[in-house]
Structure 1
């Protein structure tokens, strides 16, 4: 029961972290403000013929328009306090070999900057300023900040008139030192058809699926499965079969979660570090739990007590680590408000069930169990 108490306190801690996570509330500029602030060469992307892709990644958006000379004006924008944000084109969908426009502002409200970079490696020395394969026009790129939003405006011609491009997006909370960029915090890739405004985001879909399946497996099914041996042993052997079915289903989803996470890591060329390590560790512990089913001693076996201690210890450890790792994933993946609300509502509901509903069920079961047998006339 002490382990369950720790788990519940972990849930409360997770909820508080999500509720009180600082959010950037940004309204940004309206079209008229942008027209006044940006050079006239970029106004095509603000007119009625422009395509607007809102919230294309996190809270970031793209406006763009193509002129008669096959030049595309792009305005990329997003919430900004410090660090840098970038948008680039990739031949393969990965970071290596791509070229990107990076925007930032100097420390202490300094000069707004925007430069093209050639991304030749994962270390800062391989990210080369003022180089790249983006076919920029003679119009100088510009960046401005209005109402807490950074706007990056530039014009380019797509290579070989191919309007369907693999576009990478990246952001870092750390400001560049000179021209040297700090390592990005988050990165994704979307395929955009600039001739139609269509967006295909296979990597983002897999990333969302990774979070949703992790939530279903480790945050819903596994905790629910734990309730049966703790509170419903009076329904023997039903509790055991339900517990086994729910936990194995949760384990299968956890396995899929790890596979999706590894695929997302490869797609986005990000090593999620500690989050990845804990995820694999939790899957390993879950595997031990599943294998332990077939090593379960009989009830009257002397080794049953030690098996129970092992099973409970590994199970609670895996569950608590999974909860904390899910919270870490929410932070790292910049999960949307929907997942956060679902997470909070679920854990509030789970704790209400454990604290208020389960005790009533237990009391009713005890009352029924303690009742003497009722004999009716004619019974034997």
Structure 2
């Protein structure tokens, strides 16, 4: 078990940082949110996508629904939207309230009956809007509305939420088509205070998050950690041959986890016909192929004094550093696709910075050790024996 110990800190750090992405809906934060004038609501839910939150109070006597929808638009001049859909479960047919900054700089709320994806027009909606306001601060928009539902006895309804990055001429532009945007829908029980997403969409999102975590841990953290072990620990004679086995353990672990992540990606691809992330997919294929070739390096590794060892080193180092670079690039591409809360992307950047700082410090230490070792050999006193090399001291190995 000893060889795997140095890999555990990297693995533990990566999992603790990234595992929260699996189920952002379980991070109960709406209960800590407060509003101006001490406005309170009977229920609140952390919605499972787009880092959004919904607060509401329903009065069954007059079918009045008061809501507060909180979300961060992709850009400061973007928009947020919350809608009810009386006829379906998606965007088409949604009766939407959209909040954005108006031409004068203040917040505006307009109603839209979304009948197509091509364009939207301000119009009357299914419910009567008694009051609608919005505010923006700290990169977050808050939409407040009081509406009257036409059907008093219907307390379980479909709702949809969305965010967009821009507004043109007072009209919200089309939102992104990332998984988080496409899965921003569900049902809400107005009396029980429960908001649920459709099982298929939630299941697919969970699989995508698992796929992302597996690949981030393998190619994004464990593999770079294994490279650091091989590059720097080998300099210290006391670490030989332990560094070699530690390197193998980390890289094999990264490969096994990476294969599991690659397999979940294939499964997701087969379940998502018509959805293609070409760049992410192509890099993933290249990563798996290069990593598989790299695994054969363990079987093809010649001895140190073999005449082909020089060429093997070129192949091994070249493929290894290619995997290192491609792995990190693809982790960022995957984060862009998943669109989790911004803090998770920031957290991964922190992990990379930590690994980079460690590598930089070890680079300085190892070069110091190597230069001192060479200096010591070059100044070693002549012992009276030339061993066939004349009066010159032996060259450093």
- Please say which of residues 241-250 and 109-118 is displaced more in the overlay: 109-118
Secondary structure, aligned partner of 1:196? coil
Distance in 1 (CA, whole Å) between partners of 2:115 and 2:265 is 24
Secondary structure, aligned partner of 2:293? helix
Confirm whether residue 142 of structure 1 aligns to residue 135 of structure 2: no
**Residues paired across the two proteins, number:** 321
Higher relative contact order (CA 8 A, sep 6+): 2
Cα 1:282–1:183 change in 2 (3 A) is farther
- The residue that corresponds to 2:382 in the other structure is none
Cα 1:96–1:137 change in 2 (3 A) is closer
Cα 1:47–1:363 change in 2 (3 A) is closer
- The residue that corresponds to 1:112 in the other structure is 108
TM-score, scaled to structure 1: 0.63
Cα 1:111–1:66 change in 2 (3 A) is closer
Pair member with larger Rg:
2
- The residue that corresponds to 2:365 in the other structure is 359
Partner residue of 1:161 out of 154, 175, 194: 154
Distance in 2 (CA, whole Å) between partners of 1:250 and 1:280 is 16
Distance in 1 (CA, whole Å) between partners of 2:85 and 2:305 is 64
Q: Alpha carbon RMSD of aligned pairs, Å?
A: 4.7
Partner residue of 1:99 out of 82, 94, 97: 94
Secondary structure, aligned partner of 2:167? coil
Distance in 2 (CA, whole Å) between partners of 1:95 and 1:273 is 26
Distance in 2 (CA, whole Å) between partners of 1:169 and 1:269 is 23
- CA deviation profile, 1:110-134 (whole Å, cap 9, x unmatched): 77243335475xxx52x554699xx
Cα 1:294–1:115 change in 2 (3 A) is farther
Residue pair 2:107, 2:135 contacting (<8 A) in 1 also: no
- CA deviation profile, 1:250-296 (whole Å, cap 9, x unmatched): 12323344455677787899655544543443334323323444444
Partner residue of 2:251 out of 242, 247, 250: 247
Distance in 2 (CA, whole Å) between partners of 1:200 and 1:183 is 22
Cα 1:209–1:302 change in 2 (3 A) is same
Secondary structure, aligned partner of 1:317? helix
Distance in 2 (CA, whole Å) between partners of 1:96 and 1:59 is 18
- CA deviation profile, 1:86-131 (whole Å, cap 9, x unmatched): 345689x9857563624334456377243335475xxx52x55469
Cα 1:79–1:256 change in 2 (3 A) is same
Distance in 1 (CA, whole Å) between partners of 2:311 and 2:37 is 72
TM-score, scaled to structure 2: 0.61
Secondary structure, aligned partner of 1:139? strand
Confirm whether residue 170 of structure 1 aligns to residue 162 of structure 2: yes
Note the C-alpha offset of 1:222.
0.4
- The residue that corresponds to 1:226 in the other structure is 227
Identify unmatched segments of 5+ residues in structure 2: 1-32, 377-397
Map 1:283-362 → 2, pairs under 5 A: 283-297=288-302, 299=304, 301-330=306-335, 333-337=339-343, 340-341=346-347, 343-344=349-350, 347-348=353-354, 351-352=357-358, 355-356=361-362, 359=365
